[in-house]
Structure formats: structure tokens, C-alpha cells
Amino acid sequence: MHHAHEHGATITPSSRPYLGDIGTEIAARLPGAWSAQLEIYSHPLWQEDLSPALWEAGDLYRALVDHRVPFASVLKYDTGTELLLIERPGHRSGYLLGALTEHEKEDPHDDPSTPPSIVLPADPQLAAHAVSHTFLPAYRHAVHNRDLNTVLRSLERIREEHQTLQAIKDSGRCSDGVPLGDSRLIAGMERDFADHAWLSFVHVLDHATLLLTRCRPAASAWREDAAALTRLREALASSQDAWKEWNDTRRELYSIPRTLPAHEWSQARGQLGLAVLPAIETWLADSEAFERQARAAVPGGPASLPAPSPRLLTTRPTPPPSPRAAAAHR
């Protein structure tokens, strides 16, 4: 204030609490182990780099697109959930809060599970209540639906290829009409299917276990689904050795300075796909029961906040002190 007066500058203090303080105060009042970190975006490109990480297509998204946002507070849950808190542009009070994600995603405007941002008051107690009772329940539902949709899309891709393969085997002809006179052709097609099926089934292995824990067939209108859910759990359990082998293989290969040739990757995936083929077929057969039970499931409680999935191919760098690198949330 003294230097401003010396240079003839006028400073108008804001009635809005400092973002670094309000973020810390809100985090301290949320259920569970939350923390807050102030981030400074000295260059507009750093602000723009938030867009790929923002899981939101409403007020917070438009604020980042249409306004200069020089700093933000990131609220972090101890399992990896991150929320972005900024001052509400164009208003003398209030804040905007939305979700960040490390998951690859398409345009958030096309994602039906996107959790909407929320306007928070300047009072940290009221703000924390709004986050814990309004935003986080919506966020948990959004994560649940996102993971469910990921599993269902993966199963649909497998189903399409499985039906194509079965139609070729039943007809005795390739898709171009050429007769299958050599059994090696069929074996090759089955290996190709197993390769592609594994790439999709890994998403089932990654997300379905947690989704199944939320299913309560006895409390639903489809109690008879209990047997199908038991079969699905057993199928996942029988695939754990292949899942572990896949993760161990990727971790080992990416820790050494060489690249595995594409055909060797395909061979490795094909072998794993053939190993879990009975589990894949079980999931294809009982996918309808899984979907209706998972749609009816209600995730709840702080414990259901998601832990980040293992990222074996890329690792998120540790954020440096502010000002930070532009790709912090990539």
C-alpha cells in the first residue's frame, strides 16, 4: 500500500477472502484427509493447460475459457481425487469448484456423466457443507457412471468382434467369402480376437471389481441377478493372475531402454486373452444383469472417493512450487 501511494496507484482491497486461505479452510472442514495447494498461473498458457484436466462443461469451464484466471486452489483427497477452486469471475464474491481428472476423455460436453461445477460462498463452513453434501455426492455418482460406461463400452467392443469371429467360423468362410480351408486361418483369427479382446477386457478388470461391490441384488427389483453377479465375481477372480502378469510385464518392459516390437506385444496380449477367454465369455453372457444392478447401485460415503488407476505407461510429475510448469495436470 505504501509503494502504491508513492507511485500514485490506487488499490481497492477485495472483500473476498484470499483464495489460498479459503481453500485451506474448506479442506480442513471436509470429511476425510483433504489438503489444499495454491497454484499460480503466471502465463496464460498455464491456465489453458487446465482444460484437458477439467472434468466439467459448465460455469467453471466457461470461466477458464472466457476469463483470465491467474491462480487457483487444488483440493486433494488422500486417494487422489482433485478439485479445482477459483474465484468466480465477474462477481465480487463467491468461488467456483469443479473436478479434475487424469482419465483420458473426450469433449466434456459429450460426456453425460460429467459432474457439474458448483458456486461456493465465502464462508468456509457453508462452502465445506455445500462441497460435502452437494458436490461430492454428485461427483461420486459421476465417477460411478463413468467407470460403468467404460466397462459397458469395452464389453460391447468385445461382443462385436466375438460375433464376427463366430459368424465366420459358423459359415466356414472369411468375411470376403473365401472358404476357410486351412485350420491355421481359424487359429490365427482366434489369436487376433484374443489380442483385441484383452485390450478391452483390461478396462473390465480395472473397474468392475469396485462396481460389483456396490451391487445389492437382494435390495433391487431383480433378486435373481445374484447368481449372475456371483459368476461375474468368480470370472474376475480367475483373471487376476493374467491381470498381474500384464501389469508386471508392462512395468518391466518400460523400465528398460528398449521398445518391444509390436508383434511381440500382440503375442503377449493374445496369450493373456486366450487365458481369460472363459471369463470374457461369462461377462458377455451376464452383462445385462451387471448393467441393471450397477445402474441401480448408489455409491456413498467418503470411502467411495476413487483412488487413481495405476498409470504404468506415464507417470504424473510431482508439482513444483508456484509458479508451476504448464503441464501439471496432464
194 or 255, which is more confident? 194
Q: Give the chain's length.
A: 330
Q: Specify the 3-state DSSP secondary structure of 86.
A: strand
- Residue 70, phi then psi, degrees to nearest 5: -80, -15
Supply angle C-alpha 100, 103, 105, rounded to 5. 95
Region 56-64: mean pLDDT is 87
Average pLDDT, the chain: 82
The pLDDT score that the predictor gives to residue 71 is 92
Residues 6+ apart with CB under 8 A from 218: 226
Query: On the CB side of 200, how many CA atoms lie within 13 Å of its CA?
Result: 24
Cβ-based burial of 30 (10 A; exposed 0-12, middle 13-18, buried ≥19): buried
Give the tens place of pLDDT for each residue, 145-191: 989 999 999 999 999 999 988 887 777 666 655 666 666 777 778 88
70 or 327, which is more confident? 70
| Cβ pair 142, 136 in contact under 8 A | no
pLDDT at 325 over 70: no
pLDDT at 19 over 80: yes
Rounded to whole angstroms, the Cα distance separating 86 from 38 reads 10
What one-character DSSP code corresponds to residue 288? Answer: H
| Cβ pair 86, 40 in contact under 8 A | no
Give the tens place of pLDDT for each residue, 249-291: 777 665 554 565 666 677 778 888 899 999 999 999 999 999 9
The pLDDT score that the predictor gives to residue 107 is 64
- What band does 292 get if pLDDT is binned at 50, 70 and 90? very high
| Cβ pair 273, 239 in contact under 8 A | no
Query: Quick count: other Cβ atoms within 10 Å of Cβ 212?
Result: 17
